Amino acid sequence: MANRKVYRFDNEGDIEEMRRIIMDSSEDEFPNDEILDESEDEVDNVHVREEDSSTDQEASSGDSDVDDNEQFIGKDGTNELTEEHLVRRSTKQLGMPKDLQNDTMRILWMFHQQEPVGGAVGPGSLPLHDLESRGIQSLYLVQRADQDAPSPEEAVHVWEIRNPATVPPAPGDTLYWCRIVRLPALTDKHHLIRYEPLQEVGGDAEGLQHVVLQCFDSDFEPLACSTVVASWARGSEGFSFPPEAGYPLEPSKSHYYLLETHYVSPTDGSLGSLDGSGLRLYYTPTLRRHDAGVISIGMDPNWRHIIPPGQQRVISSGHCVSECTRHAFPGSGINMFAVVMKTHKIGRQVALKHVRGTAEQPPIASDDNLDSDYQEYRRLGTPVKILPGDQLITECTYNSSGRSAITLGGYTNRQETCLVMGLYYPRQRTLTSCHSLPSLPTVLHSLGIQELSA
């Protein structure tokens, strides 16, 4: 397994300095982050310990003994921090470390342009007001999907789908931009094995998202584009399929694809040019063992999804019922190997639940510390088997305490959504979106409307 770095503060002054920076920042920026106190060690150093990711239990034991892999940044400043380091999360009670979880973690990072005088790191030495030298980044530390390069044995081709120059939306507005593109000239089936973002737009376009949809000829419409092939949102590095699976690109089935791009313009108008954004797709004629598919599970983005205002905790659930999976999934079931969770601004928690018969199985994935602006894929440690007749439930928890009006479901950033996209194999073509909604009578009843008159 890949190594990781655990960053600890052993000097009480350093801890208080970092805590002061966090307290001076807004709650929205640092909603649940704390600093690990190791100040019981009478050593005025910063410890950087390199650990294999398989030793989580040892890492959480609070043992401060030095091993052969431990490095010290001492007062003499002879060792330098030259790699990325992760800030370990703990409870607010000092000296009570908390194991790394599957939840989204907010990582506070800082660096100094110059070595402190004498190599000392103490109160007042951190770059408090230098925004270029500090920041915060949301990350998955446990289920992070590695961005593996394609195997040298695979002949890989690249397909870039770019957006043309586009007029940015007004500050605070959402723009949906769709572009139909043609599949490269292929004669045989290929596998999509990786995709990543192209140039990002300037400014803080926190709502930037790209979705590639496969289009099919229809008797009713010129093109019907609804099958998700790839989905990327700002904060994600893209996705690499596992070695046993790839998404099929079949010229005999479809020649056209749609790039659907969502932009949410910052309210301060700092959004730069949208020209050149898009996705880079890697595909190969070397077919892998399984065709992969994508299924969307949750609440249909619709006004009937209603979240009342002024509430600390509101739960919405979208159901993919057993009748749907029984009809669509193959007899041996499907194997889900990665997920991406999606809410908008007031989403706080998401879980993809799994029910077989009358027994609820362990959740396929969950996040109790969601960051709606960080929509990265989670690679499941072991693919989860989902059988025909199983029920899948996407459960989202919202905090609407800061809103004075109801929030409706929808596509804009001011509206809300509750979706999980699951990547799986083998691919089935019957069910690509499995969403639910409250019935209209249920919605009317919740609003206190007894009947509608013509």
Torsion, Cα 203 209 215 218, to 10 degrees, reads -100
Which candidate, 279, 273, 238, places its Cα nearest to that of 149?
Answer: 238
Torsion, Cα 281 286 291 293, to 10 degrees, reads -10
Give a three-class secondary structure readout of 136-203.
Answer: EEEECCCCECCCCCCCCCCCCEEEEEECCCCCCCCCCCEEEEEEEEECCCCCCCEEEEEEEECCCCCC
Which candidate, 5, 83, 88, places its Cα nearest to that of 48?
Answer: 5
Please provide the size of the chain in residues: 454
In contact, 337 and 380? CB cutoff 8 Å: yes
**Helix, coil or strand: residue 454:** coil
| pLDDT score, position 78 | 35
What is the DSSP secondary-structure string of 230-267?
EEEETT---EE--TTEEEEE-TTT-SEEEEEEEEE--T
Which candidate, 310, 311, 204, places its Cα nearest to that of 263?
Answer: 204
What CATH number does the domain located at 292-454 have?
2.60.120.230
Which candidate, 140, 131, 120, 139, places its Cα nearest to that of 24?
Answer: 131
Which candidate, 326, 425, 340, places its Cα nearest to that of 384?
Answer: 425
Which candidate, 240, 397, 239, 258, places its Cα nearest to that of 315?
Answer: 397
**Residue 279 structure tokens:** 């996705």
In which region does residue 154 sit, left (phi positive, over 0), alpha (psi from -120 to 50) or beta (all else)?
beta
The model's pTM is 0.72
What CATH number does the domain located at 146-290 have?
2.60.120.310
The residues, any chain, with a CB within 8 Å of residue 363's CB and separated by 6 or more, are 351, 352, 353, 354
Q: What is the pLDDT of residues 351-360, one digit of tens each?
A: 999 999 999 9
The residues, any chain, with a CB within 8 Å of residue 448's CB and separated by 6 or more, are none
Torsion, Cα 244 395 261 224, to 10 degrees, reads 70
Which candidate, 369, 365, 358, places its Cα nearest to that of 336?
Answer: 365
Q: Is-same-fold flag (146-290; 292-454)?
A: yes
| pLDDT score, position 425 | 97
**Residue 28 structure tokens:** 């929205």
Cα–Cα distances in angstroms (integers) from residue 438 to residues 9, 177, 181, in the given order: 50, 29, 36
| pLDDT score, position 449 | 81
Digit-by-digit pLDDT tens for the chain (454 residues) are 444 333 344 444 554 555 554 445 444 444 444 333 333 333 333 333 333 333 344 333 444 333 333 333 333 333 333 333 333 333 334 344 455 567 888 887 777 666 665 556 666 666 555 666 777 777 777 656 666 667 777 789 999 998 887 777 777 777 888 888 999 999 999 999 999 888 655 444 456 778 888 887 665 566 788 888 998 887 778 889 999 999 999 998 888 898 888 887 776 666 555 667 889 999 999 999 999 999 999 999 999 999 999 999 999 999 999 999 999 999 999 999 999 999 998 999 999 999 999 999 999 999 998 888 888 888 898 999 999 999 999 999 999 999 999 999 998 888 999 999 999 999 999 999 999 988 888 888 877 887 777 6
| pLDDT score, position 10 | 45
Q: Which residue has the tokens 């929509």?
A: 375
For the chain, give every domain's residue range.
Answer: 3-139, 146-290, 292-454
Torsion, Cα 249 252 256 257, to 10 degrees, reads -30
